[in-house]
Amino acid sequence: MHLTTKALVLREVNYKEADKILTALTADEGKMTVSARGVRRKSGATAAACQQLCWGEFTLYEYQGRWAVKEAAAERRFEGVRGDLEKLALASYFAEVTETLAEEGQPEPELLSLTLNSLHALDKLSLPPTQVKTAFEWKAMALAGYEPMTDGCAVCGTPLVRGERTVCTLCRTTAPMTGYWREADNPVFRRCWGLVPVERASGFLFFVQGSGWRELIHAFKYRGAWRTAREMGAWYGHFLAESGLYGDVDLVVPLPLHPFKRCRRGYNQAEYLAEGIARQLGVPVERHAVCRRRNTASQARKALRERAANVEGAFAVRRPERLAGRHVLLVDDVMTTGSTLLACAAEILRAAPDCRVSLAAFAVSRRELGVKE
């Protein structure tokens, strides 16, 4: 059995006369322990890639229950780190923490992105190493589930009482809900008319500028509060399941981020919303069938036509067989004009024409939908 994957070498241990045992965090299989035979010889073709803090493409083969390196090509060696003792020590610390947090055989895309991003910051950015270290540690704690949490409501800041989670009862009761999950024909669904033939479409909340709900959304979108996204997804999913309109959904697909943007952010907030929704619907999350192949500019402050042009050709379906014949619920955090969601839905239907697609946005724009307050 062979496996080709991108990987970051976290640790190397000399073994026998010319071999090494590597601990690597791979993009596809998570943390792996692999043997690299002959890499300590001067003629070793894979020697450059089989060093700690090297990012590259590895072709591995399985032999007698163990993985070994067949081919390896270095793509990034972070030379600016290797030439500075302080940076090298800090980078080695990052690798040690990453190895501790990663689980064997469990993909860790957020952790991998964080470590690569931190190494890049040490290598290329003119930032104090202490600042990079602090940012790495806080993000790593968040990914490990230890992000700093207060006992206050994420919307209004009022202390939570027993039984309340993330958002207090008063804020949940007064939330700017749309109610669209109960209606087959609603403004979000009508936004799709003549553009993409979707089965269902819904938004959970109206996006209100200057409100505590806006801050909550920005917290899970930009500031690492991924557990909030998962909790809000579960809340939304409860209403979707209760409505009866989404009972035949087969799987939930989060709107993908471009790898560069995901690397900078450290995670995709739509995935955590999707996890919460999928748990309530009792269906799996499909993270790998659809990808973003073009890193588009921000949609903010763009007109409708500009938004549509900006996302044209931005998505690709890598594994259409996973979607074929299924009812797919495509999830995103905020829908303004709907251009991004519709572009992704159109690509899914083009690649898997026998599947059905529904849309679920956590927040929608009242103004863009033409809904009066």
Residue 17 sits in a domain whose CATH number is: 2.40.50.140
Q: Bigger pLDDT: 230 or 131?
A: 230
Per DSSP, the three-state class of 265 is: helix
Q: Would you say the pTM of this structure is higher than 0.85? A: no
Q: How many CB atoms lie within 10 A of CB 83?
A: 10
Average pLDDT over all residues of the chain: 89
Tell me, yes or no, whether 234 and 335 share the same domain: yes
Name the residue among 316, 241, 323 with its Cα closest to residue 285. 323
Q: How far apart are CA 259 and CA 292, in angstroms?
A: 8
Tell me, yes or no, whether 75 and 33 share the same domain: yes
Q: How far apart are CA 262 and CA 65, in angstroms?
A: 33
The verdict on residue 77 lying in a domain is yes
Tell me, yes or no, whether 122 and 205 share the same domain: no
Tell me, yes or no, whether 8 and 103 share the same domain: yes
Q: How much of the chain exceeds pLDDT 90, in percent? A: 65
**Number of domains within the chain:** 2
Q: How far apart are CA 230 and CA 253, in angstroms?
A: 14
Q: What integer pLDDT is reported at residue 259 of this predicted model?
A: 76
Tell me, yes or no, whether 210 and 327 share the same domain: yes
Domain that includes residue 20, residue range: 1-148
CATH number (domain holding residue 275):
3.40.50.2020
Report the pLDDT averaged over residues 154-178: 92
Tell me, yes or no, whether 45 and 183 share the same domain: no
Least confident of 134-138, 219-223, 308-312: 308-312
Tell me, yes or no, whether 15 and 75 share the same domain: yes
Tell me, yes or no, whether 138 and 182 share the same domain: no
Q: How much of the chain exceeds pLDDT 70, in percent? A: 94
Tell me, yes or no, whether 212 and 126 share the same domain: no
Structure tokens at 212: 């505590």
β-pairing, 290-292 with 66-76? unpaired
Q: Which residue has the tokens 């083009």?
A: 350
The verdict on residue 130 lying in a domain is yes
Report the pLDDT averaged over residues 268-286: 96
Tell me, yes or no, whether 130 and 183 share the same domain: no
Tell me, yes or no, whether 133 and 208 share the same domain: no
